[in-house]
Amino acid sequence: MSRATRYDHVIVGGGLQGCLVSHALAHHRPEARVLLVERASDLCGNHTWSFHESDIPEQARAWFDPLVAHRWPGYLVRFPALTRRVGIPYATISSAGLREATRRLAAEAHARAGRGALVIRSGAACEIVSPTCVRLGDGALVDGATVIDCRGRAAAPGPPRGAGYQSFIGHEFRVGRRWPAAEPTVMDVREDQASGFEFLYELPFGPDRVLLEYTRFSEDPGCDEARAEALIATRLAEAGAHDTERLRTERGCLPMPYEAPARAPNAAVAGGYAGGWYHAATGYSMPLAARFADILARAAPDRVGAELAAAAAGDSLRRGFARFLNRLLFCLVTPRDRWKIFRRFYRVLSEERISRFYAHRFTVADAARIVVGRPPSGLAPLRFARSFLSPTGPGLT
Ligand SMILES: Cc1cc2nc3c(=O)[nH]c(=O)nc-3n(C[C@H](O)[C@H](O)[C@H](O)COP(=O)(O)OP(=O)(O)OC[C@H]3O[C@@H](n4cnc5c(N)ncnc54)[C@H](O)[C@@H]3O)c2cc1C
């Protein structure tokens, strides 16, 4: 078997994390030779990745900011008896934009013809043989000083041990009349919660373009398509948007674990979902994926593993607390009452605390403010207690 070119970095998985790492490396280590391998026919899938601007570390802004497709100065949340505008700037990166920017990066490195390179190989799955070697789809072995596992959920050996799920169906529309809102509504929550916490998510990309996404937090990974379509249609009707063209659909399901994930021994450096670099309680990957990319790219080559491990260790209490919140949500509170947890979050927390929570930089005092207070109605304490004992979670009761 041929042993092909050696790279400084081999990135396995060209989704959100793999592409962010490519951009951070191009900025901090333009001399590095990087191979990015994606099993799908192209990079990035079909997503809209939103985040709070305050999620992004200041030192990552130079390479991160050019990737941002849309920005808004704030957003709304709507619950029964509570509407709040949160004045934290909110923003989005699109799959299409990130794909194009990453391809451009590879073309620019090629045109420079210097030592640095970004080579993209898509269309075949790649196997991680060791922390410094991968096997490509054609069987060729490739060495890398660092192999970075960015395979997302595909890296996990099976379903998560104990988790709830956040499932989504979203449509992007062109609308025939001006959309009535200029800022996102991150949660539009109606009182008739049928089978878990559900809400509509609204991103106005312009006066005539909007993404409407149905989201449900539930014990099971399925999504009620009819319910999603009904809520989206209701919102279009409320907005007076009768003349619409559907431009795109995105869907997916994200586990929200309350058990710590198992990690394979001697595994390669792992980022994104594969490495636990995502916010377990919000489902947002961006804050930790951007942080991972920046730390990795700044680290001296022989210190990459150590610096990432130190950063993860420094964050382990927060990761544990995020999983604990998921346990509270999925095991302690009954499905029809879950929305009250989120209403309380937005009722009592200041913008500073909200921003630190989403950015995964919350303090002990922030954590206490989230959980200490009058308990929600609809508790299931027995189920909550059982969730600590069963390795597969409490089961549906
Ligand atoms: C519908 C939906 C909406 C979301 N919205 C947001 C949001 O607004 N903001 C946010 O921050 N997060 C959001 N998330 C979460 C976020 O999309 C994911 O957590 C994030 O994509 C994880 O990044 P990743 O790079 O680890 O994995 P992915 O983006 O899934 O990328 C993994 C890549 O690895 C590839 N791959 C897998 N196995 C192999 C292999 N053997 N060889 C080569 N390639 C391989 C896959 O094809 C894929 O392209 C959302 C998730 C969903 C499902």
Residues with CB under 6 A from ligand 1: 12-18, 37-40, 45, 47, 49-51, 125-126, 150-152, 154, 168, 250, 252, 254, 272-274, 278, 283-286
* Longest CA–CA separation in the chain, Å: 66
What pLDDT score does 179 carry? 97
Residue with the smallest CA separation from ligand 1 atom 16 is 285
In angstroms, what is the span from residue 225 Cα to ligand 1's centroid? Answer: 22
Distance CA 218, CA 212 (A): 20
pTM given for the model: 0.94
Residue with the smallest CA separation from ligand 1 atom 35 is 13
Q: Where are the domains of the chain?
A: 3-72+90-157+258-316, 163-257
The CATH classification number of 163-257 equals: 3.30.70
* Whether domain 3-72+90-157+258-316 has CATH 3.50.50.60: yes
What stretch of H or E contains 36? Answer: strand 33-38
Residue with the smallest CA separation from ligand 1 atom 1 is 252
pLDDT tens column, 270-288: 999 999 999 999 999 999 9
Can you list the pairs that 127-132 forms with residues at least 24 positions away whose Cβ atoms lie under 8 Å?
A: 128/12, 128/267, 128/268, 130/266, 130/268, 131/266, 131/267, 131/268, 131/269
Report the candidate in 17, 15, 90 with the shortest Cα–Cα distance to residue 291. 17
Residue with the smallest CA separation from ligand 1 atom 12 is 284
152 Ramachandran zone, left/alpha/beta (phi>0; psi -120 to 50): left
pLDDT tens column, 112-130: 877 789 999 999 999 999 9
pLDDT tens column, 135-173: 999 999 999 999 999 999 888 767 777 889 999 999 999
Cα–Cα–Cα angle for 294, 298, 304, rounded to 5 degrees: 95
Q: Are the CB atoms for 324 and 17 separated by under 8 Å? A: no
Amino acid at 318: R
Work out the end-to-end distance of the chain between its first and last CA atoms, rounded to an integer number of angstroms. 54
Amino acid at 8: D
In angstroms, what is the span from residue 3 Cα to ligand 1's centroid? Answer: 29
Three-state DSSP state, 303 = helix
What pLDDT score does 265 carry? 61
In angstroms, what is the span from residue 364 Cα to ligand 1's centroid? Answer: 30
Q: Are the CB atoms for 80 and 89 separated by under 8 Å? A: no
Tell me the two tokens of residue 393: 């979670």
Residue with the smallest CA separation from ligand 1 atom 40 is 125
